[in-house]
Amino acid sequence: MAGLGTVGGGVVKLLSEHKDLLAQRAGRPIVLAGVSALVVPKTLEAQLKGVPFHQDARKLAVSGDIDVMVELIGGAEGIAKQIAEATLGAGKSLVTANKALIAKHGVALARLALEKGVSLQFEASVAGGIPILKAIREGLAANQFTRVYGILNGTCNFILTGMEQSKRDFADVLAEAQKLGYAEADPAADVDGHDAANKLAILTSLAFGTPVSLESIYVEGIRNVSAIDIAFAEELGYRIKLLAIARRTEHGLEQRVHPCMVDRETPVAQVMGVLNAVVAEGDYVGRTVFEGPGAGEKPTASAVVADLLDIARGRTSPPFAVPVSQLAPMRAASMEDHFGAYYVRLIVVDVPGVLAEVAQIFAAEEVSIESVLQRGRAPGENVALILTTHECREAAMMRVRARLEKLKAVVEKPAFIRIEEL
């Protein structure tokens, strides 16, 4: 195993604590035959007593003493990629929790695994302890999927939950998340949606039998969601979640990550804190909902060791649910063709005629307004003007947005949040 951080430590502990149980379930013992890491945490010294330590993980990967390499370093390039290629190239199976690696190089690695007759497993790369990839690859394999979506980033879900419960703004709750260890010092990968996009790319490939395509995903994070948006969402009967969504449309395969307003009664809206949730909709099974911890030492270690169990049992299946040679590219739908309803927040100067000007812009682009909210009066001062629309094309809404930004009475950049029907 390469990497003894949070997840690596969890795997070491699980292999030690459940040694007999795992041997019983696998039909053979699973032995940690070597580790490689920058440092060995003192908390793991007891469990790692007698386990050979290797300075160079790439040499460990091709060692004759191992059957499987577990890569828990992370990153799409560099040492993680080198370990993966060395492992598979040497005819060893590979287990990884590295979503960035699989999102960028998963198809190439799957080809190499097929060529060498070994296994590539990455259950822990999406939604932590939730066995969603196994469910799509095996339990739901008889279905043609129409849509998969969910909350794939616990950091963002924690922040949005905290903003709602404490009535604080994004920056304050982000600072709390960093203090608690739920957010990195540089939170960009999480709060800007890139982590969720990596996971969605993998999920989409398995569900729709298409090569992983990060470039086809529209990505928007949660930095611009404000406390006022959270409050108005509640008043309108919604809750704001960062969703990752893939679905078949008449324009092609739509893949997107962005904040959504969802009905508070839907299952996804009930998922709070650092939890993840994934919903898979199949033509025969209907809607299935999976919820659980999406990160952390124990849940992620559980997923890693589940992959090890499959390999030990001799149970392997194509990493992307179909043989890699059968992955078929699908036409990517443009976000301009997305069809849905919208929430719009304007900060305007409270003077007569502003609403009429705003309504005229919507009418000119043939976007129908469903509701308008404004609380209180403050003549000559700035106030929030909230509108929701009926379903329309994204391209029309973007034209509305551009025209609203030019209005003299609009004093801040308009906020747009898509309303998602689930």
Smallest CA-to-CA distance from 154 within 177, 186, 124 is with 177
Give the count of beta carbons closer than 10 Å to the beta carbon of residue 84: 27
Question: In Å, how far are 7, 76, 92 from 133, measured between CA atoms?
Answer: 19, 20, 22
Burial category of 193 from C-beta neighbours within 10 Å (exposed 0-12, middle 13-18, buried 19 and up): buried
Q: d(Cα 250, Cα 350) in Å, to the nearest integer?
A: 42
346 - beta bridge partners? 385
Smallest CA-to-CA distance from 344 within 405, 287, 283 is with 405
Contact indicator for 148, 203 with CB cutoff of 8 Å: yes
Q: Which of 19, 199, 406, 408 is catalytic?
A: 199
Tokens 């149970």 found at: 315
Token pair for 84: 């993966």
Contact indicator for 88, 116 with CB cutoff of 8 Å: yes
Q: d(Cα 97, Cα 114) in Å, to the nearest integer?
A: 19
Q: Which long-range contacts (CB under 8 A, 24 or more apart) does 60-65 make?
A: 60/2, 60/34, 60/35, 60/36, 61/2, 61/86, 61/87, 61/90, 61/92, 62/86, 62/87, 62/89, 62/90, 62/92, 63/33, 63/34, 65/33, 65/34
Q: What are the φ/ψ torsions at residue 256 (nearest 5 degrees)?
A: -155, 145
Give the count of beta carbons closer than 10 Å to the beta carbon of residue 326: 10
To the query of whether residue 199 is one of the catalytic residues in this protein, the response is yes
Smallest CA-to-CA distance from 327 within 81, 122, 106 is with 106
CA angle 367, 373, 379 (to 5 degrees): 115
Contact indicator for 129, 105 with CB cutoff of 8 Å: no
- Which of the residues are catalytic? 199
